[in-house]
Amino acid sequence: MRIKVNPERLKECRDDLKLVDDVIRQIRAQTSSVESNLGRLHELSLNRIRRELGKQNRKLEDTRRKVGNLRTSLDEISRRYKETEQKVYELKGIGFIMPPDAQGNGARGNVPAEEKDKVIRDFERDHAKEVKKLDKFLRSGDSDDLTEDDIRNIKYLIYTAEEPYRSIYLNSVSKYKIDTTDSDGQAFYRPWAHKVTYDYPDCFGEDPRGPYTTFFHEGGHAIDDLSDKSKWLGSDTENFKVHSDAIGHEVTLREAIEYDVYYNRENEHSITSIAHKIIDNGSSGSRGNVDRVIEAFKAGDSSGLNKNDLAMYNAVKNEYFKANTGHEEFEAVSDVYGAMSNNALRNGYGHDQPYWSNDETKAGKELWAEYFSYHMAGDGESLDNLLEFFPEASKVLDQYAQSLGG
C-alpha cells in the first residue's frame, strides 16, 4: 500500500511541534520563576515569624523582669512595714522581740521581771477589754495552778508577739478554757469540751524551744478548731485553701505539705530533691526509681522495693537525717515528715504512728500548732527550720494566720 505524503502538511506539523516546544519552555521558565518566588516568599514569612517570636519573647522577658522587680519591691515593703511596726511598739513600750539565746530559748522569756511588768502595764492601760477576757481565761483552770510568775511570763509573751499572732490569741481566749491533768507531762486539746489540758507544772517548765511553747501549741489547736473561718465546726486547716504558684492551683495545707515533703524540687529536703541529688552524684542508690521510692515513703514500708530502689530509699533517708539532726528545734519537721512517711522519717520528736492512722488532717493541724506556738513563744530557730523544710506549706500557714487576724 502506498502512502501519500503531503510536504506542506509535514511542514505545518513541524511548525506546530516547534510552537508546542516553545510553549513548554515558556511554562517551564514560568514554573521556575514561581518556585523561586515561592521560595523567597517562604523565607520572608519565616523571617517575619522569627522576628515576631523574638519580639514577643523580649516582651515576655521584660514582663518577667518587671514581675520579679515588683515581687522584690513587695518583699522590701513588707520587711520595712514589720520594722516600722516593731519600732512603734518599742516607742509605745508595748514590747520588743529579741533573738533567741545560745540555748535556743526565746530571749523574750529571759527579760527581767521589772521590764516585763512595765511592758504589761503599758499594754494593759490601753486594752482594758482584751485584758479582762485574758485574765478570766488564765484563771479558768484550778486557781492554784498558774502562779503570778506564770501569768506575768505568759502575758509578756502575748503582748510582745508580732501581729497578727497577738490579736489572734487575744481574740480567741473567750472561746475555750484551761484545764489540768496528772498525765506525766502530757498536754492536749479536747475539742468536745473546748479545753486545753496540761500536766502542771511539767508543761510549764524550761523548754528548749522557748518558754511556754507547749502552752501556745495547744492554744493553736483550740484556735484552729474554734475560729470557724472555713467551716462551721472543726479544724479550719482541713478546708482552708490558697493559690500556690508553684503547684499551679488552689491547695489545702495538707496538699502543700505533700508537695513539700515528696515533690518540691525547690525544697532541697524533699524526697524528690534528695533522690535527684543522689542520681546526679552517681552515689549509692543512684540507679533507683524515684517514683517507687516516694510511694514506699508514703506507705512507710520499703519491703516491696527491689535492690536498686531500696538502695535509693536508704540513701534518701540518710541524707534527710543529716539535715534533720533530731534536736528540739527540729520537732515540727520530725513530727510532720513522720506523719507523711508512716514515721519512717521521724527523727526523735513527734507523735507515735497510731496517732496519724486514718486521719490525713492531723499533719496540717500539728504544723499549724507548731507554727503558731513558735511565733508566740519566740522560738526563732525552730521557726526557721519549719520555713526551710516546708516552703510552700509555710505560705498557706501565713495566709491562714492573716485570715484569722483579719
pLDDT tens column, 271-309: 999 999 999 999 999 999 999 999 999 999 999 999 999
> What pLDDT shows up at residue 18?
72
Residue 199: pLDDT band with limits 50, 70, 90:
confident
- Predicted local confidence at residue 136, as pLDDT: 92
- Residue 72 pLDDT: 54
Residues 102-138: tens digit of each pLDDT: 333 444 667 889 999 999 999 999 999 999 999 999 9
- The strand pair at 195-199 and 177-181 is best described as parallel
Residue 91 confidence class, pLDDT cut points 50, 70, 90: very low
Cα–Cα distance, 307 to 315 (Å, whole number): 12
Residue range 244-250: mean pLDDT, rounded? 95
DSSP lists the bridge partners of residue 244 as: 249
* Residue 325 lies inside a defined structural domain of this protein: yes
Report residue 172's pLDDT band, with 50, 70 and 90 as the boundaries.
very high
Mean pLDDT, range 214-233, rounded to an integer? 88
Q: Which residue has the higher pLDDT, 258 or 150?
A: 258
Helix, strand, coil shares, percent, the chain, to 5 = 65, 5, 30
pTM (2 d.p.): 0.74
pLDDT value of position 7: 63
CA distance 189 to 174: 15
Q: What would the grid cell of residue 210 be?
A: 522557748
Q: Residue 71 — pLDDT band, cuts 50, 70, 90? A: low
The residue type found at 120 is I
Q: Which of 173-177, 200-204, 382-386 has the lowest mean pLDDT?
A: 200-204
Give the angle subtended at the CA of 230 by the CAs of 233 and 244, to the nearest 5°.
145
Q: How many domains does the chain have?
A: 1
Instruction: Judge whether 275 lies within some domain.
Output: yes
Tell me if 265 is assigned to some domain: yes
Q: For residues 206-218, give the mean pLDDT.
A: 82
The answer as to whether 42 is a domain residue is no
Give the rounded percent of residues in the chain with a pLDDT score beyond 70: 74
Residue with the bigger pLDDT between 332 and 52: it is 332
Q: What is the mean pLDDT of residues 142-158?
A: 84
Q: Give every CB contact of residue 8 below 8 A, 6+ residues apart in sequence.
A: none
Residue 60: the pLDDT is 64
And the C-alpha cell for 65?
Answer: 523582669
One DSSP character per residue, 181-194 reads E-STT-EEEETTTT
Q: What pLDDT does residue 57 have?
A: 63
pLDDT of residue 85: 47
Q: Lowest-pLDDT range, 193-207, 253-267, 353-367?
A: 193-207
Q: Is residue 39 part of a domain?
A: no
Q: Give the percent of the chain with pLDDT over 90.
A: 54
> Which tops the pLDDT comparison, 327 or 99?
327
Q: What is the mean pLDDT of residues 175-190?
A: 82
Res 88 pLDDT > 90: no
CB atoms within 10 A of CB 75: 10
Residue 255 has pLDDT above 60, yes or no: yes
- What pLDDT was estimated at residue 211? 75
Domain hosting residue 311, numbered range: 241-405
* Within a domain: 308: yes
Written as one letter, the residue type at 10 is L
The pLDDT of 84-98, averaged and rounded, is 40
pLDDT digits (tens, 9 = 90+) for 19-57: 767 767 777 777 776 667 667 766 666 667 767 766 676
Q: How does the average pLDDT of the chain come out, rounded?
A: 83
Which of the two residues, 1 and 141, has the higher pLDDT score? Answer: 141
DSSP sequence for 10-35: HHHHHHHHHHHHHHHHHHHHHHHHHH
Specify if 29 maps to a domain: no
Residue 176 lies in a domain: no
